[in-house]
């Protein structure tokens, strides 16, 4: 099975079923979506796209976006979505890095895109659509091109399961985004797990909340299409506001899938008890820890859906899952576990030396199986370093996340590997030290890093910037810390900065801080 | 504040120089907690003991290298005085 086959099969079985619906009311049937994706396929092939190429697109959430995905897949290319709201430099870098043969772009982004591409010396074919909504603008662009020179009908590519289907770029610790390459098999094996686990039906109405460049979209789009359900596209704007709660009710969404933050927002401000959510049967969340206070509140306000915590990096898509038992006891203070490894994958937990740990001991979670990436686009060393092998057996992908298996066989997430250290036998979570520092009234920014030290084992460096003045009293700071965290977690060295160094995506630049700490 | 003895000044200077770079000396008072706050960690404690033994020509026992005896400048000076 290959991804675009899901669409063509659905169009054959349920041609008049609504495939995609937008909040504004526009919709497209499976037959129409197949037709539109076929036309785009033809145009892309006329523009020179060949099987094995990459096709980028810079389009906001819309029917146009979904049609573009399938059109690109049908040429045998891999699609590369860029974040429509990211800076042009970042998107230009991504599209040049994987040398796309063509880009489908909304006219509002075109000038910035072209400028960036020419800076990289890249010259892909460009198809411009003058807006989004209903698929109308893609149709219009194709009509316009056909008027100039008709695109001959091309054959839909018969891709192999191990052919690349899409590349999703994630932020790299070096500052440059890295492209996770994913095959048809990677996605299909995951979609099949979704079918088994969530039993979708024709009557389902899946939210499409996640952007197309996030791997949550894989569950949304392909699970929906496979089962002939309806995909309800949520635009970028409404997707971040509590008003989204109205949309979920109005559109009678049955399966909701998103990161926890929007759910927390709706639990607090969405006035959920004032509306009818009888249709909502599944609430799936992934991507970060769901603060237990807000999850409890959400489950109280939406008591009848089933809730699932899904965990997994882009490199594996969802790799562990956990159904939230309801009701959640009032006194529960711990976040939910990440659960068990999905049935289409295998997991092991390894220590710092790369050896599997004893059952119940903590370590880094590593995953292998049909859903796991082959690696990163054009980054052979990074790819090599991300996998661990035991003898001649197939390699496991190292998630970089530290977990521990609990009594019931569920994994609990402990933190990022590189943010947890051992000092004199104590486990220290650097994020906890930062949280403590942020509680100090005089501190504006704080970042904690750790470096090996001959004498101390690990030395903790706190880099801070102050709200007023250049520095604070070390005595006062250490005393403050000792009142909030165990004394072994009090940083060894404090360095004061006017402002902490930042990366291009405006996060604290830990690499630079580490380099400076070593100097 | 009580007068600081010459011994206390010597210990205070050492602690400021070795473990509190850039700190305003006025912040380090005779009763400022040092070990329970992480200002003196276990390594610092060893360095301090080494310094005290050399500077004041005394011997400090293993059981005296703890919070009870070394938590404040006052406590440290009391320990030093008891050995002279």
pLDDT of residue A1: 97
pLDDT of residue A34: 98
8 Å CB contact of A476 and B24: no
Q: Which residues of A touch B38 (CB under 8 A)?
A: 478, 481-482, 487-488, 490
The CATH number for A3-236, chosen from 1.10.3720.10, 3.40.50.720, 3.40.50.12780, 1.20.1260.10, is 3.40.50.12780
Structure-block tokens of residue A79: 């699609």
Distance CA A61, CA A360 (A): 43
Min Cα distance B41 → chain A (Å) is: 8
Residue of B20, B35, B41 with shortest CB distance to A475: B20
Quick one: average pLDDT of A255-263?
94
Residue A341 has pLDDT above 60, yes or no: yes
The CB-side HSE value for A121 (13 A sphere, CA atoms) comes to 0
pLDDT of residue A174: 65
Asked if residue A185 lies in contact with residue A74, where contact means CB atoms within 8 angstroms, the answer is no
Q: Would A3-236 and A424-518 be classified into the same CATH topology?
A: no
Give the model confidence (pLDDT) of A383-439 as tens digits.
999 999 998 999 999 999 999 999 889 999 998 888 888 887 787 889 889 988 988
ipTM: 0.90
Q: Which residues of B touch A481 (CB under 8 A)?
A: 37-38
pLDDT of residue A314: 95
Instruction: Give exposure, A135-173, as e/b (b: 16+ Cβ within 10 Å).
Output: bbbbbebbeebeeeeebeebebbebeeebbbbbbbeeee
pLDDT of residue A448: 95
Quick one: average pLDDT of B49-63?
93
Give the model confidence (pLDDT) of A163-174 as tens digits.
999 999 987 766
Q: Which residues of B touch A482 (CB under 8 A)?
A: 36-38
A333 touches chain B (CB under 8 A): no
pTM comes to 0.82
Quick one: average pLDDT of B9-28?
96
Residue B12 has pLDDT above 90, yes or no: yes
Supply the DSSP string of B31-53, one letter for each residue. Answer: T---TTTTSS-HHHHHHHHHHHH
Quick one: average pLDDT of A434-457?
89
Per-domain boundaries in chain A: 3-236, 344-417, 424-518
Averaged confidence pLDDT in chain A? 94
Residue of B28, B36, B42 with shortest CB distance to A475: B28
Asked if residue A210 lies in contact with residue A220, where contact means CB atoms within 8 angstroms, the answer is yes
Closest-CA residue in chain B for A473? B23
A291 or A503: which leads in pLDDT:
A291
Residue B81 has pLDDT above 50, yes or no: yes
Q: Which residues of A touch B66 (CB under 8 A)?
A: none
Give the model confidence (pLDDT) of A42-54 as tens digits.
999 999 999 999 9
Distance CA A459, CA A274 (A): 53
Residue B1 has pLDDT above 50, yes or no: no
Asked if residue A231 lies in contact with residue A204, where contact means CB atoms within 8 angstroms, the answer is no
Residue of B20, B35, B42 with shortest CB distance to A474: B20
Q: Which residues of A touch B43 (CB under 8 A)?
A: 455-456
- Among A377-386, A444-453, B1-10, top mean pLDDT goes to A377-386
Is residue A282 very low, low, confident or very high in pLDDT (cuts 50, 70, 90)? very high
Q: What CATH number should be reported for the domain whose range is A344-417?
A: 2.30.38.10
Distance CA A257, CA A284 (A): 5
3-state secondary structure A7-23: HHHHHHHCCCCEEEEEC
Closest-CA residue in chain B for A456? B43
Which distant-in-sequence residues (6+ apart) come within 8 Å of A2 by Cβ? Answer: A73, A158, A159, A160, A161, A163, A165, A184, A188
Give the model confidence (pLDDT) of A462-509 as tens digits.
999 999 988 999 999 999 999 888 888 999 999 999 999 987 666 788
Domains parsed from chain B with CATH numbers = 6-83 (1.10.1200.10)
Min Cα distance A91 → chain B (Å) is: 45
A457 touches chain B (CB under 8 A): no
pLDDT of residue B3: 55
pLDDT of residue A458: 87
8 Å CB contact of B43 and A473: no
Closest-CA residue in chain A for B36? A487
pLDDT of residue A287: 87
* Mutation for B interface: A454, A461, A471, A479, most B CBs within 10 A: A479
Percentage of residues in chain A having pLDDT higher than 90: 81
Q: Which residues of A touch B21 (CB under 8 A)?
A: 474
Helix/strand/coil for A443: strand
Distance CA A160, CA A289 (A): 36
Residue A355 has pLDDT above 80, yes or no: yes
Q: What CATH number should be reported for the domain whose range is A424-518?
A: 3.30.300.30
Helix/strand/coil for A395: coil
């Amino acid at each position: 099975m290959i991804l675009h086959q899901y669409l063509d099969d659905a169009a054959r079985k349920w041609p008049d079923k609504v495939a995609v619906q937008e909040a504004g009311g526009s919709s497209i049937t499976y037959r129409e979506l197949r037709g539109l994706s076929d036309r785009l396929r033809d145009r892309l092939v006329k523009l020179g796209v060949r099987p094995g190429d990459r096709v980028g697109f810079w389009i906001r959430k819309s029917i146009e976006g979904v049609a573009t995905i399938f059109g690109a897949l049908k040429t045998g290319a891999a699609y590369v979505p860029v974040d429509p709201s990211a800076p042009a430099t970042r998107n230009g870098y991504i599209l040049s890095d994987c040398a796309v043969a063509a880009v489908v772009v909304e006219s509002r982004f075109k000038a910035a895109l072209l400028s960036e591409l020419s800076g990289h010396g890249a010259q892909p074919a460009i198809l411009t659509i003058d807006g989004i909504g209903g698929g109308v603008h893609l149709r219009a662009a194709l009509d316009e091109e056909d008027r100039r020179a008709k695109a001959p009908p091309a054959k839909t590519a018969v891709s192999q399961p191990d052919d690349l289907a899409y590349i999703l770029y994630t932020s790299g610790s070096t500052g440059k985004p890295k492209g996770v390459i994913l095959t048809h098999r990677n996605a299909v094996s995951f979609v099949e797990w979704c079918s088994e686990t969530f039993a979708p039906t024709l009557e389902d109405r899946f939210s499409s909340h996640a952007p197309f460049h996030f791997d949550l979209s894989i569950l949304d789009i392909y699970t929906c299409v496979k089962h002939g359900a309806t995909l309800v596209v949520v635009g970028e704007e409404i997707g971040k506001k509590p008003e989204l709660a109205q949309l979920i009710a109005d559109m009678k969404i049955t399966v909701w899938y998103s990161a926890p933050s929007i759910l927390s927002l709706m639990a607090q401000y969405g006035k959920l008890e004032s509306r009818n959510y009888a249709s909502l049967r599944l609430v799936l969340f992934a991507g970060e820890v769901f603060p237990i206070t807000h999850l409890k509140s959400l489950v109280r306000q939406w008591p009848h859906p089933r809730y699932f915590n899904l965990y997994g990096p882009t490199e594996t898509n969802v790799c562990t899952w956990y159904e939230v038992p309801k009701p959640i006891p009032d006194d529960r203070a711990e976040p939910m576990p990440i659960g068990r490894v999905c049935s289409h994958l295998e997991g092991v937990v390894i220590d710092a030396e790369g050896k599997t740990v004893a059952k119940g001991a903590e370590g880094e979670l590593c995953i292998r199986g049909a859903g796991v990436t082959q690696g990163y686009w054009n980054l052979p060393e990074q790819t090599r370093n991300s996998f661990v092998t035991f003898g001649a057996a197939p390699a496991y992908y190292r998630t970089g996340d530290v977990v521990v298996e609990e009594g019931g066989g569920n994994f609990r997430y402990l933190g990022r590997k590189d943010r947890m250290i051992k000092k004199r036998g104590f486990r220290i979570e650097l994020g906890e030290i930062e949280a403590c520092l942020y509680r100090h009234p005089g501190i504006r920014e704080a970042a904690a890093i750790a470096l090996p030290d001959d004498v101390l084992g690990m030395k903790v460096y706190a880099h801070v910037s102050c709200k007023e003045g250049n520095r604070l009293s070390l005595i006062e700071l250490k005393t403050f810390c000792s009142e909030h965290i165990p004394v072994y977690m009090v940083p060894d060295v404090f360095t004061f900065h006017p402002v902490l160094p930042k990366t291009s995506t405006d996060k604290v630049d830990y690499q630079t801080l580490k380099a400076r700490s070593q100097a | 504040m009580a007068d600081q003895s010459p011994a206390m000044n010597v210990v205070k200077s050492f602690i400021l120089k070795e473990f509190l770079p850039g700190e305003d000396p006025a912040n380090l008072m005779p009763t400022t907690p040092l070990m329970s706050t992480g200002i003196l960690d276990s390594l610092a404690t060893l360095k301090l003991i080494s310094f005290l033994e050399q500077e004041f020509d005394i011997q400090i026992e293993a059981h005296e290298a703890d919070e009870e005896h070394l938590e404040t400048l006052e406590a440290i000076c009391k320990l030093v005085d008891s050995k002279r």
